[in-house]
Amino acid sequence: MTITLHNLSAGYDRHPVVHHVGGAFAAGSMTAVVGPNGGGKSTLLKTLAGFMPLMTGHIDFGGVKPSEIAYLPQQFEIDRSFPIRVMDVALQGHWPRLGAVGRIRSSHKTEALQALAQVGMEAFADRPIISLSTGQWQRVLFARLILQRAKLILLDEPFAAIDGRTTHDLVHVIEHWRQEGVTIICVMHDLALVRSHFPQTIVLARNLVAWGNTQDALSDETLARAAALANEWVAEAEICDTNHEVPHVH
C-alpha cells in the first residue's frame, strides 16, 4: 500500500503552490509535513484528499480507495454552529461504509461511545458541540476518525491551539493507528513534537526541500534552505514544465 507522488504540482487558478513533488509514503508510515507558512503544506494534504486537482503529475495510491482516506482540516475550516450533539459527530465516522442515508443501528452507537471513550469524551456524548472547548472539539473529531477505519489519515495541524494534555492523548491515538498499519501524513509546526514522535518528515517550501528520516530532514541546513526559498516566492508564479529532482535524506 505504498503511496507514491509522481511530479506532483497543485495550486489555485493556474498558480502552483506545490511544485513538482515526488516521493513515496510506505505503508504504515508516520510522516510530518513542515515548512514555512504558505509553503504548500495544506495544499499537499488537500490534493491527496482529492479536494484539489493536479496541475502536473499523478498520485499512485497503491490500491487505497477514496472511501479509505480520512482527512481532518484545520479547526477554523470546520463550522460547528450546527445544533448537533457530540454523538452525532462521532457517528459520522460510519458514513464511508453506510452512506449519508444509511441506517444507524444500536451497534453503531455502541462503537461511537467506545471511540469517544478512547479520547476521553464519552461523558460528553449528549452535549451540543458548540459548548466544547477547542481541545474537547478536537478529541471528538478524532473519535470520528477512529470510526472511519481509514487506511490513509491526513491531519492538518491537529495540535494547533490545544492544551498539552490533549496533545499527549491524541498523539497516543495517532501512534496506535500507526501500530495498526495505517499510513499517517500530518502537517505540523511544533518541531520538537515532530522530532519526538514522527519517524519521517517532509520539508516543503513550495518546492520539496527534504523527505526522509526526521533527524536528517530537520537539520539546520535544511531548515535554512526552506527559509531562503520562502524569501524568493513569487505570488503569481505560473506553472512550469521542469521536473525538479530533490535527493531524499536517510
Q: CATH number for the domain including 221?
A: 3.40.50.300
Alpha helices by DSSP H, 6-163: 41-49, 86-91, 95-98, 106-118, 134-148
Sequence letter at residue 238: E
| 93 in a structural domain | no
Which segments of the chain does DSSP mark as H helices, in order? 41-49, 86-91, 95-98, 106-118, 134-148, 164-179, 191-197, 214-217, 220-230
Distance CA 97, CA 57 (A): 30
pLDDT of residue 100: 61
* 195 inside domain: yes
Whether residue 85 lies inside any domain: the answer is: no
Q: What is the pLDDT of residue 246?
A: 46
pLDDT at 242: 46
Q: Are 93 and 145 in contact (CB under 8 A)?
A: yes
Q: What are phi and psi for residue 140, nearest 5 degrees?
A: -65, -40
Into how many domains does the chain fold? 1
Residue 3 lies in a domain: yes
CA neighbours within 13 Å on the CB side: how many for 248? Answer: 13
The stretches in the chain having pLDDT less than 50 are 241-247, 250
In eight-state DSSP terms, residue 221 is: H
10 Å CB burial of residue 86 (0-12, 13-18, 19+) is: buried
Kindly state whether residue 200 falls inside one of the protein's structural domains.
Answer: yes
The predicted structure's pLDDT at residue 20: 95
| Phi, psi angles (nearest 5°) of residue 39 | -85, 0
pLDDT of residue 79: 86
- Please report whether residue 14 resides in a domain: yes
Beta strands in 2-53 (DSSP E): 3-12, 15-25, 30-34
Range of the domain at 223: 1-64+153-158+190-250
Q: Is there a domain that residue 50 lies in? A: yes
> Is residue 83 in some structural domain?
no
